[in-house]
Structure 1
Amino acid sequence: MLDYLLNALITLFVTIDPIGLAPIFVGLTRGMTKDQRRQTAIRATVTAAIILYAFALVGEGLLGFLGISLAAFRIAGGLMLFWIGFEMVFERRDQRKMANAAKAIEEERTHDLADIHHLAIFPLAIPLIAGPGAISATILIAASAPSTLGVVGLLVIVGALVGSCLAVFLLAGPLDRMLGKTGRIVLTRLLGVLLAALAVQFVADGVTEIVRAATAGGI
């Protein structure tokens, strides 16, 4: 159980990357008052939590309804997570996130200031917090839970990580200045390598499961 929870914590922490969202949040909320930033942060994290909780609880059932085997989803999800890790190591993920954030800001400049709160949904909640990688990882981890208690533990971890996103958003300015450019680069690369290794394990587990099922069917 402890290994399962530790794996869940590491995988989701690296995938969601709360610290890496700090400079993006600063850019997205430029020009907002402190109260507006707080409201945006709360709305974004609550929305992301609901999305991840939903996929943790019904994701595996949804796959079954669509006729997708868990082994196939493990391989697909693992490949997706590996690509995210690759992007983190070579700094492509931050560039893409900043490009999406800049695009969202430009789109919102044509609206009233109240409309800026929609940024909490896109791109903050989706896809920056609850993106494809985080959703895939949540479904895979929930499906491999050893017991109901494991699923409860996963939900607690998701809540804690989304809560850490809220804390990072509220402290985004000071945190970004404290890490500095060098600190962000080092942290992103280390987390990227770790995520890539976990992704390979997902793929290996999926391939093993498919081979085992094919062998059993042949027998």
Structure 2
Amino acid sequence: MIETIVHSFVTLFVTADPISIVPLFIVVTAGLNAAERNQVALRSVLIAGVILVAFALLGDEIIAFFGITIQAFEVAGGMLLFFTAFGMVFGSSSSEPQKPGANADGALTQIAVFPLAIPMMAGPGAISATILLSARAHGWLGIVELVAVILALMALIYAVLMMSGRIDRLLGDTGRVVVSKLLGVILAALAIQFIGDGVTKFAEEIAKAAA
């Protein structure tokens, strides 16, 4: 039991990669105060947690209902991520951090949903891993353990994001710009990797069907 829980946690930790989310969180929440950052962090982990729990409980049914595949998630997620990365590198207004205004609550939710919850926390890798772990779970007890692991991971991610304020203060305005551009390049590479993996899996499926 303990071994299964540890394996599930490590698998989801690696696919969600909380450490890599921190610099992105700093960039997209630049200009927000501490309370607003806290709201974004909390909403993002809640949204990601709900998504992963939903796939833990009904993963196969969700995929079958919409007639889509994990490969499609990877390609679509990669394209959206690349658009964000392009804006971060070249200063597109679409990727500039949202500033609270007349619809501050909506702006904060938008940041929390994309790109933090989707596709960073609950991306194709984490969703695929959740469905796989759910399929390997032994009965409802195994599913409950998996849900507990997801909730623990989201709590850990939230704690990590709460420490990002200190990192942001150390970076300053210049450091934040440098990190934003560098992260944009890395994010673009990650997006291409998502797309490449999705296309490769599509090709493998076609090859199997033709064989």
Q: Same fold (TM over 0.5)?
A: yes
User: Shorter chain as normaliser: what TM range?
Assistant: 0.5 to 0.7
Identity of aligned residues (%): 11
Aligned pair partner of 1:51 in 47, 50, 56: 47
The CA deviation string for residues 147-192 of structure 1, in whole angstroms up to 9 with x for no partner, is 5577765554444333333322465343343634334322321243
Partner residue in 1 for 2:113? 126
Aligned residues: 191
SS in 1 for 2:66: coil
Partner residue in 1 for 2:129? 141
Aligned pair partner of 2:184 in 188, 195, 198: 188
TM-score normalized with structure 2 length: 0.65
Residue pair 1:40, 1:120 contacting (<8 A) in 2 also? no
The CA deviation string for residues 23-61 of structure 1, in whole angstroms up to 9 with x for no partner, is 43232x3xxxxxxx3332333222222211111121261
SS in 2 for 1:101: coil
**How much has 1:77 moved relative to structure 2?**
1.0
Partner residue in 2 for 1:64? 61
Residue pair 2:81, 2:188 contacting (<8 A) in 1 also? yes
Aligned pair partner of 1:107 in 98, 102, 108: 102
Partner residue in 1 for 2:15? 8
Aligned pair partner of 2:34 in 38, 52, 57: 38
Gapped regions of structure 1 (runs ≥ 5): 30-36, 109-115
Q: Which amino acid aligns with 1:131?
A: I
**How much has 1:134 moved relative to structure 2?**
4.4
Aligned pair partner of 1:163 in 153, 159, 162: 159
Partner residue in 1 for 2:3? none
Question: Could you tell me how far apart the structure 2 residues matched to 1:194 and 1:180 are?
Answer: 20
Gapped regions of structure 2 (runs ≥ 5): 1-6
TM-score normalized with structure 1 length: 0.63
Question: Could you tell me how far apart the structure 1 residues matched to 2:108 and 2:165 are?
Answer: 14
